[in-house]
């Protein structure tokens, strides 16, 4: 196995950690709610009612963080696709908050609830995407019903672990009710939670009361969650990468610490979605090289506290599947993957600074992640891999093509792309000059030819419809 | 003819201290406030604007120059007969109900302020009623709404309806923006303008008000 890629030296990890701890101790986090401030003060925080600030004295910070579990499982309903956080394995998946989709004919349109269903079904069928995040905003659904409808379509069409953003405690309660119905009982769902929740602080250094209510609810009911900072270097965080990392680290630790203070032992992921502003024209960039660097560094910062990380990678500013998309995605997926992050989201399907998706892009990214995983699997050096015996056997001037050693190793040793073009030029030319994109389309038609079967039994679907009459059905 | 070269240079560099000193010098030397404003400050910002358009300087530098100019305008203000001479127009701005994100709104405010507009910032989580109330209270020319979350975007439509109901819709121009907001959505809700970023917000605002 290769050594983890280290964006930061061990010394730099400590330096950034110290800066973050100073921020938490001296500046603190704004919490505009007296009730939560009082509870945190009773638990050991320092508070300032006039400034509406919660500060984290070093001892208390360490004590709360030590209660956070270093390892837990994001369950899949099929039992086969569980994601084990803290196990050393890297799991990639897609991301959410998208509002635009690039269709096959090249047109861009607003995303709908049907696109949630389609992307869930697609991710369910793509091997390297280990979880599904509710992929897009459905423009045809009333705002107050959006979250429940999104999770419902996700659970209908994928049995992989589902994660999604949530706007309010009211929506969260409905989601849990749906999950408990599916699981059969509260206990069954708590034991093996198959969905989790994404919340965010507001950079710089602000935790909104509704977010705290949701984190508390999740902790209380055994629902894994993250409170993931998304600071923008140059806008909502310092214009230096070290500065943004210090602030991100403070915000991420605050999210974990506050959740532990409210519900000791709550399953929380340290969150990191580092981004940058293009300061020339003030364009927000989710997919800059600096973002990739910071997201790789964040993995080390989370590891310093033994916390599983909700990391970010695979981002691009490109509007379509082109060279820019390929390069930008590769740079970040490789760096964050090689850093060893447990859970890497945003890594499939996305274009255009996280605003747009295309179905083909999920298929292409799944393949690219296969290449990344090959790098993570490393170079074997056991006796069999070193092959001294087979070289002796073949001898000088021989060849290895038909050796048992070759046949035994060929499938595991190499990543074989389905989409990327590899062939003799004439073969390619005569084959109609396929491209990665054209092959992705073919694969898409192959794996998702029509309406897939739902992953919820008809009887349960009826129960769900009765219990949640505001749920919408989707036409494929 | 008064030479405002030193003042213009200070504004160009974003040197607030020197710019203020030069402004004071100009006033005590007998130059009229209007002259300092037009030939010193606005002329300097025109150069800054041209350099920005030519890609020679960027938004942070431009904002710094704008801030410098504003500091000087504050010094000149008491010398003006009418408030209107110092402002290109007034804009009410806020992030809509349910949305606590404000960096986009703040960027637009800074750019609009830098372009000489007066900003009335309602902050975040602004429900339709508060926009309407402020529109009623002030002589605002523009009303700007920002949203980061697609779920809060619908409040933009509600605010426009509320303005209609209050008989205020025709009194001002409505501009919308934010990550999930699109040109199409702006047309759907019958906003007057949409801007994809803070820089274009300024040019759209000027277009709407028919000013340079």
Of A136-145, A236-245, A399-408, B47-56, the poorest mean pLDDT is in B47-56
Query: What is the number of other CB atoms lying within 10 angstroms of the CB of residue A453?
Result: 8
Please state, in angstroms and rounded to a whole number, the distance separating the CA atoms of residues A18 and A242: 12
Q: Are A275 and A288 in contact (CB under 8 A)?
A: yes
Residue of A137, A146, A279 lying closest to B180 (CB–CB): A137
pLDDT of residue B50: 87
| Residue A107 forms contact with B (CB below 8 Å) | no
Contacts of A263 (CB under 8 A, 6+ apart): A216, A219, A220
Q: Output the average pLDDT for chain A.
A: 97
Give the best residue of A142, A208, A239, A282 to mutate against chain B (max B CB count within 10 A).
A282
Q: Are B113 and B70 in contact (CB under 8 A)?
A: yes
Give the best residue of B102, B180, B183 to mutate against chain A (max A CB count within 10 A).
B180
Residue range A9-34, pLDDT digits in tens: 999 999 999 999 999 999 999 999 99
Please state, in angstroms and rounded to a whole number, the distance separating the CA atoms of residues A307 and A431: 50
pLDDT of residue B1: 43
Cβ-based contacts of A166 with chain B (< 8 Å): none
* Cis peptide leading into residue A204 (ω within 30°): yes
pLDDT of residue A240: 98
From the CA of B72, how many Å to the nearest CA of chain A?
25
pLDDT of residue B84: 47
Cβ-based contacts of B199 with chain A (< 8 Å): 281-282
Cβ within 8 Å, pair B151-A99: no
Cβ-based contacts of A355 with chain B (< 8 Å): 179-180
Choose among A165, A256, A143, A244: nearest CA to A207.
A256
Query: What is the number of other CB atoms lying within 10 angstroms of the CB of residue A459?
Result: 8
Residue range A36-56, pLDDT digits in tens: 999 999 999 999 999 999 999
- Alpha-carbon separation of residue A100 from A111, A164, A316, A349, A353 (angstroms): 5, 17, 15, 12, 11
Average pLDDT over residues A363-389: 97
Choose among A260, A287, A256, A254: nearest CA to A273.
A287
Cβ within 8 Å, pair B180-A99: yes
- The tokens describing B169, both together, are 């819709």
Cβ-based contacts of A235 with chain B (< 8 Å): 103, 107
Report the share of chain B in percent with pLDDT over 70: 96
> Higher pLDDT residue, B143 or A476?
B143
Q: In what order do the strands lie in the sheet with A53-55?
A: A29-30, A53-55, A46-48
Residue range A59-92, pLDDT digits in tens: 999 999 999 999 999 999 988 999 999 999 999 9
Cβ-based contacts of A281 with chain B (< 8 Å): 58-59, 197, 199
- Alpha-carbon separation of residue A301 from A229, A315, A347, A353 (angstroms): 14, 21, 20, 24
pLDDT at B67 over 50: yes
Cβ within 8 Å, pair A281-B58: yes
Choose among A405, A423, A422, A421: nearest CA to A413.
A405
Q: Are B100 and B86 in contact (CB under 8 A)?
A: no
Residue of A100, A202, A279 lying closest to B58 (CB–CB): A279
pLDDT band at B80 (very low <50, low <70, confident <90, very high): confident
Length of chain A: 476
| Residue A273 forms contact with B (CB below 8 Å) | no
Q: Looking at the whole model, is its pTM more than 0.90?
A: yes
Q: In what order do the strands lie in the sheet with A232-233?
A: A232-233, A275-278, A283-285
Q: Which residue has the tokens 């340290």?
A: A270
- The tokens describing A182, both together, are 């599916």
pLDDT band at B85 (very low <50, low <70, confident <90, very high): low
Residue in B closest to A356 by C-alpha? B180
Interface size between A and B, measured as CB pairs under 8 A = 46
Query: What is the number of other CB atoms lying within 10 angstroms of the CB of residue A209?
Result: 15
Of A79-88, A294-303, B50-59, the poorest mean pLDDT is in B50-59
Average pLDDT over residues A140-160: 96
Give the best residue of B51, B55, B59 to mutate against chain A (max A CB count within 10 A).
B59
pLDDT at B31 over 90: no
Cα four-point dihedral sign B9, B13, B18, B24: positive
Cβ-based contacts of B55 with chain A (< 8 Å): 280
Residue in A closest to B152 by C-alpha? A143
- Which of left, alpha, beta for A353 (phi over 0: left; psi -120 to 50: alpha)? left
Q: Are B104 and B179 in contact (CB under 8 A)?
A: yes
Range list of H helices, A125-184: 146-157, 169-183
pLDDT of residue B82: 57
Report the share of chain A in percent with pLDDT over 90: 97
Range list of H helices, chain B: 5-13, 16-28, 33-35, 43-53, 59-76, 103-114, 128-137, 154-165, 183-188, 198-209
| Residue A108 forms contact with B (CB below 8 Å) | no
- Alpha-carbon separation of residue B35 from B1, B72, B78 (angstroms): 10, 13, 14
Q: Are A210 and A199 in contact (CB under 8 A)?
A: no
pLDDT of residue B2: 60
Cβ within 8 Å, pair A281-B197: yes
Residue of A137, A167, A279 lying closest to B60 (CB–CB): A279
- Distance, C-alpha A209 to centroid of its chain: 24
pLDDT band at B86 (very low <50, low <70, confident <90, very high): low
Residue in B closest to A352 by C-alpha? B179
From the CA of B148, how many Å to the nearest CA of chain A?
10
Average pLDDT over residues B98-120: 89
Query: What is the CA angle B169-B172-B177, rounded to 5?
Result: 95
Please state, in angstroms and rounded to a whole number, the distance separating the CA atoms of residues A230 and B68: 31
- Interface pTM, i.e. ipTM: 0.84
Cβ-based contacts of A232 with chain B (< 8 Å): 103
pLDDT band at B52 (very low <50, low <70, confident <90, very high): confident
pLDDT at A444 over 70: yes
| Residue A167 forms contact with B (CB below 8 Å) | yes
Task: Give the dihedral of Cα atoms A317, A320, A323, A326; nearest 10 deg.
Answer: 70
Residue range B178-205, pLDDT digits in tens: 999 999 999 999 999 999 988 889 989 9
pLDDT of residue B49: 84
| CB-based burial label for A250 (10 Å; 0-12, 13-18, 19+) | buried
């Amino acid at each position: 196995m290769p050594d983890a890629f280290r964006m930061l030296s061990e010394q730099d990890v400590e330096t950034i950690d110290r800066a973050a701890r100073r921020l938490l101790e001296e500046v603190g986090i704004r919490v505009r709610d007296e009730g939560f401030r009082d509870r945190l003060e009773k638990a050991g925080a320092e508070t300032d009612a006039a400034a509406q600030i919660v500060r984290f004295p070093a001892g208390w910070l360490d004590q709360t963080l030590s209660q956070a579990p270093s390892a837990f499982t994001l369950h899949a309903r099929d039992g086969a696709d569980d994601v084990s956080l803290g196990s050393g394995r890297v799991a990639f998946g897609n991301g959410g908050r998208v509002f635009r989709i690039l269709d096959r004919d090249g047109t861009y349109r607003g995303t709908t609830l049907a696109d949630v269903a389609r992307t869930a079904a697609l991710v369910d069928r793509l091997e390297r995407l280990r979880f599904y995040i509710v992929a897009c905003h459905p423009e045809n659904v009333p705002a107050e019903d959006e979250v429940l409808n999104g999770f419902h379509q996700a659970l209908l069409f994928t049995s992989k672990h589902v994660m999604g953003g949530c706007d309010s405690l009211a929506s969260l309660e409905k989601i849990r009710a749906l999950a408990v119905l599916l699981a059969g009982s509260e206990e069954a769902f708590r034991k093996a939670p198959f969905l989790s929740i994404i919340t965010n602080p507001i950079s710089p250094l602000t935790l909104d009361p509704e977010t705290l209510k949701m984190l508390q609810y999740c902790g209380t009911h055994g629902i894994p969650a993250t409170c993931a900072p998304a600071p923008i270097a140059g806008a909502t965080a310092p214009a230096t990468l070290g500065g943004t990392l210090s602030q991100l680290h403070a915000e991420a630790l605050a999210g974990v610490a506050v959740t532990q203070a409210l519900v000791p032992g709550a399953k929380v992921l340290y969150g990191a979605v580092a981004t940058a502003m293009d300061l020339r024209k003030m364009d927000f960039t989710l997919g800059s090289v600096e973002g990739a660097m910071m997201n790789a560094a964040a993995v080390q910062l989370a590891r310093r506290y033994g916390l599983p990380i909700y990391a970010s990678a695979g981002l691009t500013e490109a509007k379509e599947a082109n060279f820019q998309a390929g390069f930008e995605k590769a740079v970040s997926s490789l760096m964050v993957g090689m850093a060893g992050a447990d859970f890497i989201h945003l890594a499939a399907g996305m274009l255009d600074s996280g605003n747009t998706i295309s179905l083909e892009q999920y298929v292409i990214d799944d393949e690219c992640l296969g290449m990344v995983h090959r790098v993570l699997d490393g170079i074997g050096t056991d006796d069999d891999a070193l092959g001294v015996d087979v070289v002796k056997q073949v001898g000088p001037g021989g060849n290895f093509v038909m050796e048992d050693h070759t046949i035994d190793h060929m499938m595991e040793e190499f990543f074989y792309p389905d989409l990327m073009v590899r062939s003799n030029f004439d073969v390619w030319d005569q084959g109609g000059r396929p491209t990665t994109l054209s092959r992705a389309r073919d694969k898409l038609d192959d794996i998702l030819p029509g309406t897939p079967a739902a992953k919820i039994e008809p009887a349960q679907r009826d129960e769900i419809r009765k219990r949640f009459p505001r749920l919408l059905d989707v036409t494929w | 003819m008064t030479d405002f070269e030193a003042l213009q240079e200070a504004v160009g560099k974003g040197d607030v201290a020197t710019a203020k000193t030069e402004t004071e010098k100009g006033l005590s030397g007998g130059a009229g406030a209007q002259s300092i404003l037009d030939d010193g400050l606005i002329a300097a910002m025109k150069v800054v604007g041209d350099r920005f358009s030519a890609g020679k300087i960027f938004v942070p530098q431009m904002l710094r120059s704008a801030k410098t100019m504003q500091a000087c305008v504050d010094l000149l203000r008491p010398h003006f007969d009418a408030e209107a001479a110092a402002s290109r127009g007034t804009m009410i701005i806020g992030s809509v109900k349910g949305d606590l994100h404000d960096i986009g709104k703040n960027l637009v405010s800074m750019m609009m302020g830098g372009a000489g507009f007066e900003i009335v910032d309602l902050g975040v989580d602004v429900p339709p009623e508060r926009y309407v109330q402020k529109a009623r209270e002030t002589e605002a020319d523009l009303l700007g709404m920002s949203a980061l979350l697609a779920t809060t975007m619908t409040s933009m439509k509600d605010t426009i309806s509320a303005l209609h109901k209050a008989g205020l819709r025709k009194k001002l121009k409505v501009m919308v923006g934010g990550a999930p907001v699109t040109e199409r959505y702006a047309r759907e809700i019958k906003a007057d303008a949409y801007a994809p970023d803070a820089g274009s917000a300024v040019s759209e605002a000027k277009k709407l008000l028919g000013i340079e």
